[in-house]
Amino acid sequence: MKDKLLVTSSPQFHHPQSTASIMWTVSLCLLPAGVWGIYIFGMRALLVTLTAIVASVGTEALLGLINKDKTIFDGSAFLTGLLIGYNMPPAVPLYVIVFASVFAITVAKWTFGGLGANWMNPALAGRVFVFFSWTSGMTRWTLPHPGSADVITGPTPLGSIKSGLMTMADTITGPMDLLAAEGVPVSYMDLFLGRIPGSIGEVSALLLILGGLFLLIRKIANWEIVASYLGSFVLLVWVFGGFRYGQGLFSGDVLFQLFSGGLMLGVFFMATDMVTSPLTSKGMLVYGVGCGFMTYLLRFFGSVPEGVSLAIIFMNIFVPLINRAFQPDKFGKLIEEEAK
């Protein structure tokens, strides 16, 4: 028995979660939204997602051979692949996905030292890289066509507004009007459920929120980030969002902004990425507010319709700075200050 007993330093037991269990739980929580994407965009969406996963895990495995380190079972490469797939339009050429995955794993993750050492979310880095390299492929959107094989392309709601704003008539008071005038009317319910064109995994706000809530309960996603991101974004849209339609303060269409584009996917699954978000509660709040602010700026004033990915990457850059600025308060500090 002697040699079989483990002798380790305390603590002698451990919280049930591990790196791998966290990565697989996040992947699982993402699954319903992807199934929905495949349902409304067809088998092509499945092919895109699988390509991204195979390319990411494959790259990780190859790099693992060089480093003699088997890391594919920690689930992080799978999750990166899944997220890349979810961030792709269903009609994107497959080689674009492969590029995005290889870039994500090799450049954004491994050159910085692998899991934990990367400063930006690999999936987002991959997406942004291919977005600027193959913009046309990355902006060819498929209209929802559950059950039918005919693929028709059309713009996303956010895209329609961006272009529609140029030629807008005076009677338009908000994005929903504008979409109707553009000939692509949607209801809030369409946005919420995901009956709109968009990236495969981003369209179903409902399923993403459900998955996200599960992560919050499991404390895998930090409420600080989710709350401050959503809170600051909603506030900015509500207060200033009406201006572009000639309305006054406090008239922005919050629901439209919340449920269109990749916001829910970004808020719950990418801004909360542990590796690339701050360490302390206070730091997370600041980071979340930053993400919300940047998303607002990019969506309302940027040249591309969507701003979530760039906003998060932008804030990723500041994480080391935020970590330095918001250290935890040491025990006993209270007294030391009193004494001074």
Partner 1 sequence: MSRFKTFPKGGIHPTDYKEATCNKEVQNASLTSTAIIPLSQHIGAPSECLVQKGDLVEEEQIIGKSGGFVSANIHSPVPGEVLEIKKIFLPNGMAVDAVVIEVKGEFKRLGKDADLRDWSGMSNEEISAKIAEMGIVGQGGATFPTHVKLSLPKGKSCETFIINAVECEPYLTSDHRIMLEKGSEVLEGIQIMQRLLSPLKTVIGIEANKMDAVELLQSLITEKGLDIEVMPLEVKYPQGAEKNLIKAITGREVPSGKLPLEVGVINANVGTCLSVYEALVLDKPVIERVVTVSGGAIKNPSNLKARIGTSFRSLIDDCGGFSEEPVKIIAGGPMMGFAVYDLDTPVTKGTSGILALTSKEIKAAKPTPCLSCGRCVSSCPMGLNPTKIFKYIDFNMTEEALEAGLMDCVECGSCSYMCPAHIPLVQGFRGGKKIIRKKSMKKAGQ
Nearest distance in Å: CB 213, partner 1 = 19
- Kindly state the smallest distance separating residue 94's Cβ from partner 1, in Å: 31
Nearer to partner 1, 115 or 226 (CB): 115
301 vs 331, beta carbon nearer partner 1 = 331
Cα distance between residue 199 and residue 332, in whole Å: 50
Residue 112 or 240 having the CB closest to partner 1: 112
Question: Least distance in Å: CB of 268 to partner 1?
Answer: 16
> Can you give 325-337 as a three-state secondary structure string?
HCCCCCCCHHHHH
Nearer to partner 1, 202 or 273 (CB): 273
Rounded to a whole number of angstroms, the minimum distance from the CB of residue 274 to partner 1 is 4
Residue with smaller CB distance to partner 1, 150 or 329: 329
What 3-state DSSP class applies to 13?
Answer: coil
| Token pair for 218 | 């499991």
Contact 85, 53 (CB under 8 A): yes
Question: What does the alpha-carbon distance between residue 58 and residue 54 come to, in Å, rounded to a whole number?
Answer: 6
CA distance 249 to 20: 47
Spatial contact of 30 and 196, defined as CB atoms under 8 Å apart: no
In whole angstroms, give the CA distance from residue 216 to residue 117. 24
Rounded Cα gap, residues 276 and 65, in angstroms: 26
Contacts to partner 1 by CB under 8 A: 1-2, 4-22, 71, 74, 113-117, 222, 274-281, 284, 327-336, 339
